């Protein structure tokens, strides 16, 4: 059972934006206004999400739930950043450097772990999935592009080999193009479903 009001709002918004896109520059003002609404609502949703996160972790701390120390660290960090930002401003170089000095190594380390996990997964994929077309093609392509990434073959400066390398490096474009076409068709179908009330927030 779908509620009619959200359904009607969704359909009308989609039709208005679509019409505004077709009738430029007359519809440009409407399009800009609707997009600004979207940005404001998204910012408000972000604030709600932040508040929800803080309240949730405060509950964890109050109830002494397992891992509440991490929640305590999160809340303290959030409050310190908030207070520091309110006092010094978001453009203050000291504040920006202080925040960057914390966030940058943490996220970089996490990305390094992702590299290790992917390496382990590449090693285990044959043991777990066995020999199949998918795993074999994955292994062969990974080996080929890892060798190409090392740059040894390119440094040989062999014209024929360079031509082969160029062809091989262009192969991913085929897959990427198919991927993009698939994404476009999927988005189109989703847009039609929203416009015709078959998809969206109208569901109970």
Footprint on this chain of another protein (rule: CB under 8 A)? 24-25, 28-29, 31-32, 35-36, 38-39, 42-43, 90-91, 93, 95-97, 99-100, 103-104, 106-108, 110-111, 115-116, 119-120, 122-127, 130-131, 139, 142-143, 146-147, 149-151, 154-155, 162, 166, 169-170, 172-173, 175-177, 179-180
Distance of CA 19 to the CA centre of its chain: 29
Query: Residue 43 CB, nearest distance to another protein (Å)?
Result: 6
Query: Residue 200 CB, nearest distance to another protein (Å)?
Result: 19
SS3 99: helix
Q: Are 170 and 176 in contact (CB under 8 A)?
A: no
Query: Residue 66 CB, nearest distance to another protein (Å)?
Result: 26
Residue 168 CA to residue 149 CA, distance in Å, equals 12
Residue 125 corresponds to which tokens in the numbers above? 């994929």
Q: Which DSSP string corresponds to 155-177?
A: HT--HHHHHHHHHHHHHHHHHHH
Nearer to another protein, 8 or 46 (CB): 46
Nearer to another protein, 5 or 110 (CB): 110
């Amino acid at each position: 059972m779908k509620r009619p009001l959200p359904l009607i709002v969704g359909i009308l918004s989609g039709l208005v934006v679509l019409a505004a896109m077709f009738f430029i520059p007359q519809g440009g003002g409407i399009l800009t206004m609707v997009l600004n609404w979207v940005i404001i609502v998204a910012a408000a949703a972000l604030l709600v999400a932040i508040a929800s996160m803080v309240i949730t972790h405060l509950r964890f701390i109050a109830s002494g739930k397992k891992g509440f120390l991490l929640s305590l660290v999160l809340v303290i960090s959030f409050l310190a950043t908030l207070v520091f930002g309110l006092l010094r401003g978001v453009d203050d170089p000291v504040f920006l450097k202080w925040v960057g000095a914390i966030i940058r190594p943490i996220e970089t380390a996490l990305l390094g772990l992702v590299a290790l996990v992917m390496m382990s997964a590449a090693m285990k994929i044959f043991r777990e999935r066995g020999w199949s077309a998918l795993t074999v093609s994955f292994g062969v392509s990974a080996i080929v592009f890892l060798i190409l990434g090392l740059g040894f073959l390119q440094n040989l400066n062999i014209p024929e080999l360079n031509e082969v390398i160029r062809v091989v490096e262009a192969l991913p474009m085929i897959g990427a193009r198919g991927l993009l076409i698939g994404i476009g068709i999927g988005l189109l179908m989703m847009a039609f479903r929203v416009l015709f009330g078959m998809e969206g927030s109208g569901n109970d």
